[in-house]
Each structure stands twice: as structure tokens, then as C-alpha cells.
Amino acid sequence: MSSLVDTQNEPDHRNLAIDRVGVKALRYPLSIKDKDGHTQNTVATLSLAVDLPKEFKGTHMSRFVEALNANQEPLEVSTIVSLPQSLLERLPSDKAHVTLRFPFFRSKAAPVTEKQSLLDYEVEFDVETNRKGETNLTLTVFVPVTTLCPCSKAISQYGAHNQRGTVTFAVQMSSPIWIEDLIELVETSASAQLYSLLKREDEKFVTEQAYENPVFVEDLVRNVATKANEHPEILSYRVEAENYESIHNHNAYAVIEG
């Protein structure tokens, strides 16, 4: 069947290199090691791409999937980090780029009863490697938290509006940092952290804790940024907080890049 035309390999005359070409929204099983030594099994949504030199009409999309399949299923983090290199071996490109996002679980003890339950987070890896072997890795955690409004507390005789918010914290590191440590850095910056299972004693605790620790969306990103600035392994970061305001039908948000 080698006689089939290879349209992608035909020359292109528009003289335009393509910054990034590949596949998106591909799902694949992923296993990942916990900080406490367990293996989590989850499902990742991936994109894989390379640049395309101006001489070629097209890339070979099937090779992206072959690069994935060349590894044992499920994917592991060590495989992910070398996936761009593996794309460069299969395609005539200078840079390769892999992104994957997946649900990640932590077992948490409720604050008073210490009952264990799993909380779900989203995590994203973004890896880019060039022909010289230089690699940039960004690790992003999406952390749901409670925020209680300082203004509402200060002006009201009782109560204060509070809500769920999401903090998106992306970091470049000088050496590996545990996902759990990034999550904890964020959770301790909010009014309170979330749990799947809270008995009444626990609910009393988190309600009062949030009331004692009001944060604006501005405070939340500043709290995270302060810790990121002090963290020896964090080279650069972007932190965004978004609050699903309980008194509005729109959200409040803030961003710091450092």
C-alpha cells in the first residue's frame, strides 16, 4: 500500500511556517504517584503539537497518537515529560509541545472528626522541548476554596457573604514540587479549604474559620503570590482567583504574575 500518495509530504509554496500543529482533546488513561507513595489512576485530556517548517504541506497527525501508544498504557509522568522529545524523533520539527489536564484526588481529614474523604482537583502539565533538548515545564493546579468577603463582614451586624472560588496557580520550577504542596500553598491562603465530608462539628469549624479569615479575591492572589515569592523552587508563576459571588450573578477575579 506504499503507493498511496503522501499529500502531507508535498512541498508548500506559501512560504509560511506554522507555529503549532497537532491534535487536541484526546483522552488517555494516566497513572500518577502521590506524595504519600500511592499510585492514582485517572484520565487525562491531551494536546500534542509541533511547529511545521515552511517547506512542508502538512504534519503527520497519526504519529502523535503513535508516540502516545509507543509507551505502556496508562501514561506516567516520566513518559509525559519525554513525550515532546519523542515527537521530535518522529517529525522534522524544532519544537514539540504537550499539554495534559486531569482530575487528581487527595484524601483529607475533616478538621474536627478527622473523617477521611477524597477531594478532587484539576491539574495540568505543559511541557515544551526544542531540538537542543531544552525543556520548559509548567505545572498548574486548579484549587477550589472558600472565600468570605471582608467588606461584607465589616459592615454587617451579623453574617458575611461567602462562596466557592477557584484558584488557578501555574508555576515554573527549578526542581520538582509535589502537586499536593502547591495545592496546600493555595488552600492555606483562602478563608477556608473545602472537604467532601464534613460532620456537624466540622461544619461549625469551617464556618467559624472562614468568618475569622475573610479574604477579598485580591487578598487571595496576594497570599499565594507572597508564598510563591518566598518558595525556593518556584522560578516564576501566575496566580488567578475567581469567586462565584453569592450576592451577584457574575464573578470577581484577580491575577498576579511574578
Kindly state whether residue 87 participates in binding its own copies, applying the rule CB under 8 A.
Answer: no
Instruction: Name the nearest CA neighbour of 86 among 64, 103, 105, 108.
Output: 64
Instruction: Name the nearest CA neighbour of 225 among 198, 257, 247.
Output: 257
Kindly state whether residue 71 participates in binding its own copies, applying the rule CB under 8 A.
Answer: no
* Lookup: cell for 159: 453574617
Buried (b) or exposed (e) across 112-148, using 16+ Cβ within 10 A? eeebeeebebebbbbbbbbeeeeeebbbbbbbbbbbb
Kindly state whether residue 199 participates in binding its own copies, applying the rule CB under 8 A.
Answer: yes
Kindly state whether residue 218 participates in binding its own copies, applying the rule CB under 8 A.
Answer: yes
Kindly state whether residue 207 participates in binding its own copies, applying the rule CB under 8 A.
Answer: yes
The smaller minimum CB distance to its own copies, of residues 126 and 203, is found at 203
Full DSSP string of 147-198: EE-HHHHHH-SS---EEEEEEEEEEEESS---HHHHHHHHHTTSSEE--S--
The smaller minimum CB distance to its own copies, of residues 32 and 139, is found at 32
Kindly state whether residue 26 participates in binding its own copies, applying the rule CB under 8 A.
Answer: yes
Kindly state whether residue 111 participates in binding its own copies, applying the rule CB under 8 A.
Answer: no
Kindly state whether residue 163 participates in binding its own copies, applying the rule CB under 8 A.
Answer: yes
CB of 168 to its own copies, least distance (A): 12
CB of 174 to its own copies, least distance (A): 22
Kindly state whether residue 35 participates in binding its own copies, applying the rule CB under 8 A.
Answer: no
CB of 66 to its own copies, least distance (A): 7
Distances in Å between the Cα of 252 and the Cα atoms of 69, 94, 225, 245 are: 42, 40, 18, 7
Q: Name which position in 87, 171, 225, 234 contacts its own copies (CB under 8 A).
A: 225
Q: Name which position in 36, 37, 114, 158 contacts its own copies (CB under 8 A).
A: 158
CB of 137 to its own copies, least distance (A): 20
Q: Name which position in 66, 89, 181, 233 contacts its own copies (CB under 8 A).
A: 66
Are 145 and 194 spatial neighbours (Cβ–Cβ below 8 Å)?
yes
